[in-house]
Amino acid sequence: MVGERKVFHKGPRPGGPGGRPMGPGGRPGGFRKRGAPMPRKVCRFCADKIEIDYKNINLLRTFITDRGKVLSGRITGTCSKHQRTLTTAIKRARMIALLPFTVI
């Protein structure tokens, strides 16, 4: 412990005022500037009754980034049930070379 110095945190603290976690839109608790709550994202597969298939490449491409990563359900609005089947379909499409694993 001899010779060690205490490092103080520089810059703003993570989170919102009082250390609360930030919600969507950069506001604590998921509220917008005017006080209205953020609109809830709806699962496309539940709303439109779309079947997830590993051969439907156009549908799967909307749920991966340009680098080849799978987008999370928080970003896309997909429910957890369909997010699991979507991830499995993307992995199957990658294994038979319909989708790339990574894009450099």
Give domain status of residue 90, yes or no: yes
Give domain status of residue 26, yes or no: no
Give domain status of residue 25, yes or no: no
Give the number of domains in the chain. 1
Q: So what's the pLDDT on residue 97?
A: 93
Give domain status of residue 76, yes or no: yes
Give domain status of residue 10, yes or no: no
Give domain status of residue 17, yes or no: no
Please list the ranges in the chain whose pLDDT falls under 50: none
- CB-CB contact of 94 with 101 (8 Å): yes
Backbone angles phi, psi at 18, to 5 degrees: 80, 10
Range of the domain at 74: 40-104
Give domain status of residue 46, yes or no: yes
Q: So what's the pLDDT on residue 2?
A: 67
Q: So what's the pLDDT on residue 36?
A: 72
CATH number at residue 45: 4.10.640.10
Q: So what's the pLDDT on residue 35?
A: 66
Give domain status of residue 21, yes or no: no
Backbone angles phi, psi at 37, to 5 degrees: -70, 155
